[in-house]
Structure 1
């Protein structure tokens, strides 16, 4: 496993666990303190993992393949976010005035859940591309 792939695993696992946490506790009571606590735990886990990978692995320079993988993963996650945004705006403009769920559509918990999901999609795409390679692209040496 390359150095970049190990770092990507360290980004993906806390995000995936964060998504599972959100799905399991969606109906529970949330406070702003628990929201910031969740984000803080996510950041701390990613930093500790990056430090451990840096200690036990030899850092490598980013090459053209790594940059292309990051570019493609950002493209996939950006497309997903730009697909969700019009749907979200439609829900706020059309469906929400006839419903009592406007607070749910604008809650910080939903916004952070979307953020976790898009970031998990980005890092998951990076992991898949690291494992399967870049088919249909030409990487010069």
Structure 2
């Protein structure tokens, strides 16, 4: 990380790296979903975030936040929320469409785990959108 980055920027970059390292392999390299993989993903992101944020907090001396930081955080959360809400509406619409047309059999015993993975995917996309929006806001003028 460049030394001219603020504490919050370093924290955001670390969060983005942790999210991509943990969520990427889970969603793109898995063959069969299981509760153990979901639990491993959650534990992995928690442990990695604790380690990365602790290192950044130890290295960074000036951790003061101002109103610009709070405004950027709010803009990021707005982008993440809009992404999540849009994906939920799209997903529910697709579920309704496929169930009414008859292409989706809801009797499958793994359907709950499938919905859990799709829901986690929506959360991950929204969280990465939030983090990326905050990073972009720091790099350009408000």
| Normalised TM-score (structure 2) | 0.83
Residue in structure 2 matched with residue 13 of structure 1 by the alignment = 17
Indicate yes or no: 2:116 matched with 1:108: yes
Among 63, 66, 82, the alignment partner of 1:63 is: 66
Please report how far the alpha carbon of residue 105 of structure 1 lies from its aligned counterpart in structure 2 after TM superposition: 9.0
Relative to structure 1, the CA distance from residue 4 to residue 101 in structure 2 (aligned partners, 3 Å threshold; closer, same or farther) is farther
CA distance in structure 2 between the partners assigned to 1:68 and 1:3 by the alignment: 16
CA distance in structure 1 between the partners assigned to 2:14 and 2:105 by the alignment: 35
Any idea what SS the aligned residue of 1:119 has?
helix
- Structure 1 unaligned residues grouped into runs of 5+: 135-141
Any idea what SS the aligned residue of 1:58 has?
coil
Please report how far the alpha carbon of residue 133 of structure 1 lies from its aligned counterpart in structure 2 after TM superposition: 2.6
Indicate yes or no: 2:135 matched with 1:127: yes
Any idea what SS the aligned residue of 1:62 has?
coil
Provide the aligned length of Structure 1 versus Structure 2: 133
Any idea what SS the aligned residue of 2:104 has?
coil
Residue in structure 2 matched with residue 138 of structure 1 by the alignment = none
Q: Quick one: higher RCO (CA 8 Å, sep 6+), 1 or 2?
A: 1
CA distance in structure 2 between the partners assigned to 1:10 and 1:101 by the alignment: 41
Please report how far the alpha carbon of residue 78 of structure 1 lies from its aligned counterpart in structure 2 after TM superposition: 1.1
Residue in structure 2 matched with residue 42 of structure 1 by the alignment = 45
Note if contact 1:10-1:50 (Cα within 8 Å) is conserved in structure 2.
Answer: yes
Query: What are the superposed Cα offsets for residues 75-106 of structure 1, whole Å, 9 maximum, x if unpaired?
Result: 11111112112111112222234123652895
Q: CA RMSD in A?
A: 2.0
